[in-house]
Amino acid sequence: MSQTDNTTKEAAAEAAEAPSSDNNGHKKANGSGGLVILFFFIGLGASMILGWVIFPALLYSKKPQPIDFNHALHMKLEGINCESCHFFREDGTYSGVPRLAQCVRCHKEVQGETRHEAVFVEKYVSTGREVPWLVYSRQPDCVFFSHAAHVKLAKMDCVTCHGHIGESTHLKIYEENRLTGYSRDIWGKNLENWLALKRNPWDRMKMDDCAECHMEETGRKTSISTEKDGCFVCHK
């Protein structure tokens, strides 16, 4: 039985070799190889455009802030520091984005001639309506984050997690992920950030990014993915 098997195999091998031994056959094979490579690069190019340009453009909806805000301008004013607008309350919770109360002492009336200030005073200050600021660093509801632990206890700088917003002259456009509803700053702006190649700690703030620093800081070698109780440090 094995003998007949072998002979049929040999015959098949000979039959397969036959066309490739003639010159014509070889030329054909090279030609189609070139086409395959060409199509490969066309496909690669198309998927790169799709992945880098079209997909992110479709995935994120752009929402401008209700009004622009100039951090640099306000930081130059007498008696103003970050805590004038972002501070810890008596009970240790963080005030987060400022409320009108932090602005009205200076903006009861229009101060200058800029359009943003005019809109701010007209639409919000004079009506008493809070400005619906969009929070770039907003985490999903299931995540517990404490500014006190990081800023007060661990003495960390705002820049480490937020970048240089405190020195900026404009607020950037807020981008919301259409599928998850999360801010784009969580997953990172660029494909490099998605691939976990961060140049700055504030480029991305996914679970791995929190965990990476926690492991460095605490010297614990265990990964959060293996430590079951560890989940409840950050999840409610």
Helices (DSSP H) in the chain: which residue ranges? 2-20, 23-49, 55-59, 71-75, 82-85, 104-107, 115-119, 147, 158-162, 184-187, 191-194, 207-218, 231-234
* Residue corresponding to tokens 């190649």: 197
Residue 123 within binding range of ligand HEC, rule CB under 6 A: no
Q: Nearer Cβ to ligand HEC, position 56 or 230?
A: 230
Mask 193-222, x = binds ligand HEC (CB under 6 A)? Answer: --------x---xxx-xxx-xx--xx----
Residue 48 within binding range of ligand HEC, rule CB under 6 A: no
- The minimum distance between CB 136 and ligand HEC, in angstroms, equals 4
Residue 233 within binding range of ligand HEC, rule CB under 6 A: yes
Q: Residues 56, 158, 194, 215: which binds ligand HEC (CB under 6 A)? A: 158
Residue 176 within binding range of ligand HEC, rule CB under 6 A: no
Candidate ranges 15-23, 31-39, 51-59, 148-156; the one touching ligand HEC (CB under 6 A): 148-156
Candidate ranges 6-14, 34-42, 152-160, 190-198; the one touching ligand HEC (CB under 6 A): 152-160
Nearest 10 degrees: Cα torsion 184, 141, 98, 129: 100
Distance between CA atoms of 223 and 218, rounded to whole angstroms? Answer: 12
CA distances from 124 to 17, 72, 116 (A): 82, 22, 11
